[in-house]
C-alpha cells in the first residue's frame, strides 16, 4: 500500500486541529441504520440468497479512547462479516457454490461496511484501506467455509501514542496488534495514524494510514 509521508499527514493534522477548514470535508449525508434484509439481492443471480448479514456499527462520539475502541471493533466486524453465514447456510456450504460468489460477497460487504466507517470525502488513504479490508474479509470468508465456523480475526489496541480532539475532529496515533483467525498471538504490529471527523452523533474516518510498527514494538 502506498503510504503518504509523515509531513503530509502532519499537515492534515495541523489543518484539522488548527481551525483550518480547507481539508476538513463537509458533513457526509446521514445514512439509515435500519435493517436491510435484502442486501443479498445485490449479489449476482447465480449466488445464494439464503442467510443474511448484519448491519455495521460505526464510531460513536466520545473520548479519544472510545473512538479508538469503536474504530477497532468496527474493523473487526468488517473483516469477519458474513463468515457465520457461509459457515452455516447449506447453500453457501454446498459444493455447487459458484467460485466467484465469495469474492462478490466480500465486495458487497465492503460496500456495506465502508460507508459506515469511512468518509466519502476522505483522502486517498481510504481507498487502500478499504481494499485491504475487502481482501482480509475474503480470506476469512474462505476460511469460514472450509472450517465450518465463523472467524474471529481482530485488531487490539496496544498503545495510544498520541491523541487530541477538537470540534473539528480527532487525531489518533495508535500501536495495534493484528490477530488473524483463531490466533492468540499477534501476527503483525501496526502503527495507525487516524483523523476522524464528526458527523452528528458519530464519527467518520477522513484519513487512515497504517504501516508496520518498529521492529520488536510490543511484540508479545
Note the pLDDT of residue 39.
87
Element (H, E) at 108: helix 101-117
- Predicted local confidence at residue 145, as pLDDT: 96
Low-confidence ranges of the chain (pLDDT < 70): 1-37, 215-220
Specify if 128 maps to a domain.
yes
Report the pLDDT value the prediction gives residue 182, as an integer from 0 to 100: 87
Query: Is residue 129 a part of any domain in this protein?
Result: yes
Instruction: Tell me what pLDDT residue 124 has.
Output: 94
Residue 175 CB neighbours (<10 A): 17
Q: Which three cell numbers stand for residue 69?
A: 475502541
Could you give the dihedral angle defined by the CA atoms of residues 110, 111, 113 and 115, in that order, rounded to the nearest 10 degrees?
130
pLDDT at position 3 is: 41
Give the chain's domain count: 1
Residue 214 pLDDT: 75
Taking the whole predicted model, whether its pTM rises above 0.75 is answered as yes
Residue found under cell 466480500: 106
Q: Which of 103, 106, 101 is nearest to 78 (CA)?
A: 106
Residue 183: the pLDDT is 87
- Assigned domain for 93 exists: yes
Which three cell numbers mark 122?
Answer: 476522505
Establish if 202 belongs to a structural domain: yes
Which pLDDT score, from 0 to 100, does residue 35 have? 42
What is the extent of the structural domain holding 197? 6-18+58-212
Q: For residue 43, tell me if it sits in a domain.
A: no
Asked whether residue 127 is domain-assigned, the answer is yes
Domain-embedded: residue 24? no
Closest by CA to 169, choosing from 208, 131, 132, is 208
Per-residue pLDDT at 205: 97
CATH number at residue 153: 3.10.450
Q: Is residue 168 part of a domain?
A: yes
Amino acid at each position: 500500500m502506498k503510504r503518504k509521508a509523515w509531513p503530509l499527514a502532519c499537515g492534515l493534522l495541523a489543518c484539522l486541529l488548527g481551525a483550518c477548514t480547507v481539508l476538513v470535508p463537509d458533513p457526509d449525508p446521514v445514512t439509515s441504520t435500519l435493517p436491510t434484509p435484502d442486501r443479498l439481492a445485490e449479489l449476482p443471480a447465480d449466488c445464494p440468497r439464503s442467510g443474511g448479514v448484519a448491519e455495521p456499527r460505526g464510531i460513536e462520539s466520545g473520548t479519544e479512547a472510545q473512538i479508538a475502541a469503536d474504530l477497532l471493533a468496527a474493523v473487526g466486524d468488517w473483516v469477519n462479516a458474513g463468515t457465520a453465514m457461509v459457515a452455516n447456510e447449506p447453500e453457501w456450504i454446498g459444493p455447487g457454490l459458484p467460485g466467484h460468489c465469495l469474492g462478490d460477497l466480500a465486495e458487497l460487504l465492503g460496500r456495506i461496511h465502508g460507508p459506515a466507517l469511512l468518509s466519502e470525502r476522505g483522502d486517498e488513504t481510504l481507498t487502500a484501506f478499504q481494499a485491504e479490508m475487502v481482501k482480509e474479509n475474503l480470506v476469512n470468508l474462505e476460511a469460514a467455509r472450509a472450517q465450518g465456523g465463523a472467524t474471529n480475526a481482530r485488531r487490539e489496541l496496544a498503545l495510544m501514542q498520541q491523541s487530541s480532539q477538537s470540534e473539528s475532529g480527532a487525531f489518533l496515533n495508535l500501536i495495534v496488534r493484528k490477530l488473524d483467525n483463531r490466533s492468540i498471538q499477534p501476527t503483525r504490529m501496526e502503527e495507525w495514524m487516524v483523523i476522524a471527523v464528526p458527523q452528528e452523533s458519530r464519527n467518520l474516518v477522513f484519513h487512515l494510514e497504517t504501516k508496520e510498527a518498529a521492529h520488536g514494538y510490543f511484540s508479545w
